[in-house]
Structures are given as structure tokens and as C-alpha cells.
Chains A and B, each alone.
Chain A
Amino acid sequence: GAGVSQSPSNKVTEKGKDVELRCDPISGHTALYWYRQRLGQGLEFLIYFQGNSAPDKSGLPSDRFSAERTGESVSTLTIQRTQQEDSAVYLCASSPEPNEKLFFGSGTQLSVL
């Protein structure tokens, strides 16, 4: 596609429910990134994929968070047993290779009630 696509754009869920957030990177981009931006705060690194492998998972806040990437393309970020502090905008980005410009999607606004 022309850009990084994320779905859904907005998600409202109840505390304790699981959610899945999807990212479609730019075709051919080998690197894919997930970041989180809480209201009024800076961007927080979550996880990075090179191909289908995640060399750096250090940013995942807890074991309730997991992510996978398949076919060196689509990535899914899953949050289990959501908590109110998980409310944030979840941003996905891709780049042709590491150490190159990142292209961001518009994000998924997650609200946990």
C-alpha cells in the first residue's frame, strides 16, 4: 500500500478484555516497530521486528503484551486482560531497513473503560 495502515483506528474495550491491534507496513519494508503514546506523554518503544523476528522485545510493559509478525508483512499487537493504564495511542511504523527513516501509521486509539 501507499503507507502504513493500522486498524482499528479507535477501540473501546472493557477492563479485562483482550484486544488485537493490526499493522500493515509499507510493502517491502523489512523493519517494523510498535510504539505507545499515552496522553500528554512522549512515545514509548514497545517492540521491533526485523523480518518476522523480534530482536528487541525490551519495551513490552508486561507479559500481558505480545506481538507477532508473519510473512514479513502484517503485525499484530495483542494485549490480554486490558487495564485502564493501557489506554493510549498505539503507533506502528516501518522502514526499508533498520537505521533508515521510519514511516508511521495514524495509530490506534485504545480506550479501556
Chain B
Amino acid sequence: KQEVTQIPAALSVPEGENLVLNCSFTDSAIYNLQWFRQDPGKGLTSLLLIQSSQREQTSGRLNASLDKSSGRSTLYIAASQPGDSATYLCAVETSYGKLTFGQGTILTVHP
């Protein structure tokens, strides 16, 4: 059974810091890995999707890496801003349509 773990569970940083969120998964037989952000009262927003054959994806200040063999992914956020405050979720797709999510990292960026 696929299990996804995210560390840390919560993170509080001052504005401007670079930060790293970690995700690990137990079964390396995945199609892809996605990072999402979840804002209170809203649905999830997909940030980055890394196919199993890829090593990383970048979007603006976000960079996500994938090491499938070791079952790890990191989400790097550069120059953090208060608007980045949200819960960040990692999910792996192990069969078409079925994503297994981690519990999330609650990020607070204070001015």
C-alpha cells in the first residue's frame, strides 16, 4: 500500500526566506507526483506535476524535484512571501486516477 509522508508538518518563516518542503513515498511505481496548495475554504490548486521520467519542474519561484528510486520529492520555494501561506500537499499517482496524498505541510510566512 502506498504511503506518503510530508515533513515538516508545520513551518513558520519570515518573509524573504528560501525554504524546502519534503515528501517521501513508499512505492516507487508511480506515474507522477504533484504538489498542491490548499487555502482555507477553497479547493486544491495544482502547482507542479513531475512525470515519473522527469527529475524536476519549475514554475516561477517554485522548483520541485523527484528522486523516484529513493521515493523522495522536495518543493523549494524561493524568496517566500506572506501570500505563500497555505497548506502544501504532495500526492503520487500510482494508477490512473488514483492519487495518494500526504498529510500536508502548513506554511506560515510572516511579514
Residue A4 interfacial (CB < 8 Å) = yes
Cβ contacts under 8 Å, A99 to chain B: 31-32, 51, 93, 96
- In the complex, residue of chain A having the shortest beta-carbon distance to the beta carbon of B43: A104
Chain B's nearest CB lies how many Å from the CB of A45? 5
B95 interface residue, CB < 8 Å from A? Answer: yes
- Chain B contact surface mostly: strand
Contacts of B43 in A (CB 8 A): 4, 91, 93, 104-107
Kindly identify, within residues 91 to 113 of chain A, every residue whose CB is under 8 Å from any CB belonging to chain B: 91, 93, 98-107
Asked if A55 lies at the interface with its beta carbon under 8 angstroms from chain B, I say yes
| A residues in contact (CB < 8 Å) with B | 4, 31, 33, 35, 41-43, 45, 48-50, 55-56, 58-59, 91, 93, 98-107
Which residues in B have some Cβ–Cβ distance to A below 8 Å? 31-32, 34, 36, 41-46, 49, 51, 89, 91, 93, 95-104
Ordered by A's residue number, 23 sampled pairs between the chains whose C-beta atoms are within 8 Å are A33-B99, A42-B89, A42-B104, A43-B89, A43-B91, A45-B98, A49-B97, A50-B97, A55-B97, A56-B97, A91-B43, A93-B43, A93-B44, A99-B32, A101-B49, A102-B34, A102-B99, A103-B46, A104-B43, A104-B44, A104-B45, A106-B41, A106-B43
Query: When the two chains form their complex, are residues B49 and A56 in contact, meaning their CB atoms are under 8 A apart?
Result: no
Q: Could you tell me if B96 and A48 are in contact, using CB atoms closer than 8 angstroms?
A: yes
Residue among A33, A101, A103, A106 with max Cβ neighbours from chain B (10 Å): A101
